[in-house]
Amino acid sequence: MECVFCKIASKQLASFIIFEDNDIIAVLDLYPANPGHILVFPKNHFSRFEDIPDNIIGKMFVLAKYISSVLTSTLNADGINLYLASGKYAGQKTPHIVLHIIPRYKEDSIHFEWSRKQLNPQVFQQIQNAIVSALNKYNTNRNYTENIHINKDPTKTEVFSKDKKTNRNHKDKEKDYSKMLIWFLRKI
């Protein structure tokens, strides 16, 4: 059985396209949680989030940012949920990774809830060490621990950046935002 999202991307199935480029496509969900529910996904088939190339993930989330803004302003959404499930036990229903952009309204009766767990501070430390160690194996050019300041209480870990780019002034950030907005508007 061929993937329904691959069929949409190749125009074998009709859809209401919101955005499209060589790598990604955004369409209205035909069975929306709320009107304006949009699906963003790679045109190539990826069944696991971690298999999608970084540049495509970047495009998906930049597009999601702008679509969220548009949904808020044009459909008067009170909020936005981004939902992406990777793996059966995470709730993935299709074999193609899809980012859902769901406009939310005050009384829409959609609930994303889970029971919160309390963990021992030592468990947090073990989890942090395991994840940081694994991240360092992915990218040998960067040490992920250099951006982490560990307090005496591991449950109060603060993350800060030594990167000068994050300390840029507000005008520089506005310029970047404007450039991305211009790029996005040219695409639509």
pLDDT digits (tens, 9 = 90+) for 122-179: 999 999 999 988 888 876 666 556 555 444 454 444 443 344 444 455 555 555 555 5
Who contacts 42 (Cβ-Cβ below 8 Å, separation ≥6)? 23, 24, 52, 56, 60, 97
Residue 97 C-beta-side C-alpha neighbours within 13 Å: 19
- 37 and 125 assigned to the same domain: no
Q: What is the pLDDT of residue 99?
A: 98
Question: 126 lies in which domain range?
Answer: 121-184
Beta-sheet strand order (sheet of 38-42): 17-20, 24-28, 38-42, 99-104, 79-83
Q: Which of 87-91, 106-110, 136-140 has the lowest mean pLDDT?
A: 136-140
Q: How far apart are CA 188 and CA 178, in angstroms?
A: 16
Number of domains in the chain: 2
- 141 and 64 assigned to the same domain: no
- 161 and 105 assigned to the same domain: no
Cα–Cα–Cα angle for 105, 111, 114, nearest 5°? 145
Q: What is the DSSP string of 122-177?
A: HHHHHHHHHHHHHHHHH-TT--GGGGEE--SSGGG-EE----GGGG--HHHHHHHH
Q: What is the pLDDT of residue 137?
A: 82
With 80 as the cut, is the pLDDT of residue 188 above it?
no
Measured from the Cβ of residue 114, the count of other Cβ atoms closer than 10 Å reads: 5
Contact between 47 and 97 under an 8 Å Cβ cutoff? The reply is yes
Q: Which of 68-72, 94-98, 128-132, 158-162 has the lowest mean pLDDT?
A: 158-162
- 127 and 170 assigned to the same domain: yes
- 14 and 90 assigned to the same domain: yes
Range 41-49 average pLDDT: 97
Residues in the chain: 188
- 29 and 46 assigned to the same domain: yes
- 109 and 135 assigned to the same domain: no
Who contacts 60 (Cβ-Cβ below 8 Å, separation ≥6)? 24, 40, 41, 42, 52, 99
Range 92-110 average pLDDT: 94
- Taking the whole predicted model, whether its pTM rises above 0.75 is answered as no
Q: What is the pLDDT of residue 1?
A: 55
- 22 and 98 assigned to the same domain: yes
| Ramachandran assignment for 153, one of left (phi > 0), alpha (psi -120 to 50 degrees), beta (any other) | beta
